[in-house]
Structure 1
C-alpha cells in the first residue's frame, strides 16, 4: 500500500513536471498561453522588473537550497526518502508555474528578425535547445531525475555519472540546451532579455556548485572527465597536465 501511494505521488509530480515543461516552451516562445514572456498584465517598467526578479529569485533560491545534501536530509525528516526527489520536483514545478503565471512583461526591443529564412532558423534553434535539454535527461536517468525510480524501487541505487553521447561533448548538455532555448529568439524584448540574463547567471552559478558536489562525491574519475570535457561550449582544448579544469 505504501509503495502504491509513493508511486501515485511520484506520478502526480511527474505529470505536473511535463505540464510545466510544455508551459515553459510556450511561455518563452510567447505563444498559446494567457501570460507569455511578452504579453500579460502591464505595470510600470520598474515594478515589472522588480516583480520578475523576485519571482526568478524565489525559484533560484528554492532550486539551489533544496538541491544541497543538507536540505535533502532535513526534508527526509518529513517525507519518506523514496519521496524526497518527487517532493523536490513538485515544489520546483509549482514555483516555476508561479513565475509564468505572475510574470509581468517589460517593454523595449533589442532585435526583431522578420526576414526569412533567418526567423525560421531561430525558431528551429529554439526548439532544438529544448530538445537537447530533454534528451540529456534520458542519457543519465530520466526516471531518477523526476523521482519515479526512487518511488518504485525497493533497493534504490543512485545512477553513476555518464560520459557517453552528449556527455562526451559537454559536461552539462541540459544546461546548454536551456541556454540555447532562452537566447535563440527572433524577437528579443526587454522582458525576454531579463529572463534570459537572469536564468543564465543562475545556471552559471549553479554549475559551479554542482561541479563542487560532483568532485567531492565522485572524486578523481570526475576530475579527469572534467579535464577532458568542457562544461558548456563543445570546443576541445589541448589537455595540459595540471591545468585548471575548463569551466566553460
Structure 2
C-alpha cells in the first residue's frame, strides 16, 4: 500500500512539474548551475529520461526493475517500479533544469487564450490515450494492486480501441503535442521539444518489439492496418503484405458526333 502511495504521489508531482515548467517555456525552475556547466547539467537531465525510459523496456531493463522492488515482489511490482523511476526522472528534469534566462516569444491577450486552449487540449488528448491504453498500467497501480490482492500480475490486452484505431502510438503523439503547444518559447523549450520529439518517434520501436514478441500475429495484423505514428489513411494490405490495388473497371469510350 505504501509502495502504491509513493508511486501515485510521485506521478502526480511529475505531471504537475511538467505542465508548469513547459507552460513557462522552461524559464522557471530550481536549477542554479553556473555557466558553462549549466549546459552540461541540462543536457544530462534532458538525455537521461529517454535513454533510461527506453532501456527499461528491454529484457535487461525489466530484469533491473525486478531487482529494484522489495525482495520477492519484483516481478509483480515491475509496472509500479517503472512508473516510480519515470516519475523521478521527470521531476529531476523539470525541477533541476537551469534556465538560460532568454525568452524568445510569450503569448499575450487573445494569443494566450488560444495557446492555453491548445496546450490544455494536448494534455486532455494525452489523458485519453493513456485511458485507452489502460490507466492502471500507465499510472502504476497494476502492480501494487495485484500484490495487495494476492493475485497474479495480468497485463491489459493489446490496445486497439479508442485512439489506438487511428495510430499505434497515440500516447507518444499526444506527448509530442504537449511540448509544441506551449505559450512561452525559449531556447530551453526548443531543446526540450526537439529531443522529446525524436524520442517519441524512435522510443516506441522498443515497445513495439515487445508487443510483437508477446502478441505475435495479432500484433502484425494490427500493425498492418493502423499507421505507426500519424493517422494518415492507408490502403489495405493483403495477407501477403502487398498493397491491394483497386479493381480496374471497364472504360467506356463514347464518340461525340459533330
Give me the whole-angstrom Cα distance separating, in 2, the residues matched to 1:179 and 1:225.
Answer: 23
CA contact (8 A) 1:11 1:148 kept: no
* Distance 1:161-1:108 versus aligned 2 partners, 3 A rule: same
CA contact (8 A) 2:50 2:203 kept: no
Residue 120 (structure 1) aligns with: 113
CA drift at 1:182: 0.2
1:37 to 26, 31, 55: 26
CA contact (8 A) 1:129 1:176 kept: no
CA drift at 1:71: 2.1
Q: What's the C-alpha RMSD, in Å, of the aligned pairs?
A: 2.4
1:10 to 4, 15, 20: 4
Q: Does 1:87 find its partner at 2:81?
A: yes
SS in 1 for 2:124: helix
CA contact (8 A) 1:17 1:90 kept: yes
Give the helix-richer structure, 1 or 2: 1
Instruction: Give the TM-score normalised by structure 2.
Output: 0.80
* Distance 1:171-1:46 versus aligned 2 partners, 3 A rule: farther
What does the per-residue CA deviation read over 1:149-194, in whole Å, with 9 as the maximum and x for residues that have no partner?
2222212221111211111111111111111110012332111100
What does the per-residue CA deviation read over 1:53-77, in whole Å, with 9 as the maximum and x for residues that have no partner?
1112122222122222322124324
Structure 2 stretches of 5 or more lacking a match?
244-258
Instruction: Give the TM-score normalised by structure 1.
Output: 0.83
1:145 to 113, 119, 138: 138
CA contact (8 A) 2:167 2:231 kept: yes
Q: Equivalences for 1:90-239 in 2 at 5 Å?
A: 90-108=84-102, 111-114=105-108, 116=110, 118-153=111-146, 154-239=151-236
Structure 1 stretches of 5 or more lacking a match?
1-6, 31-35
The total of aligned residue pairs comes to 232
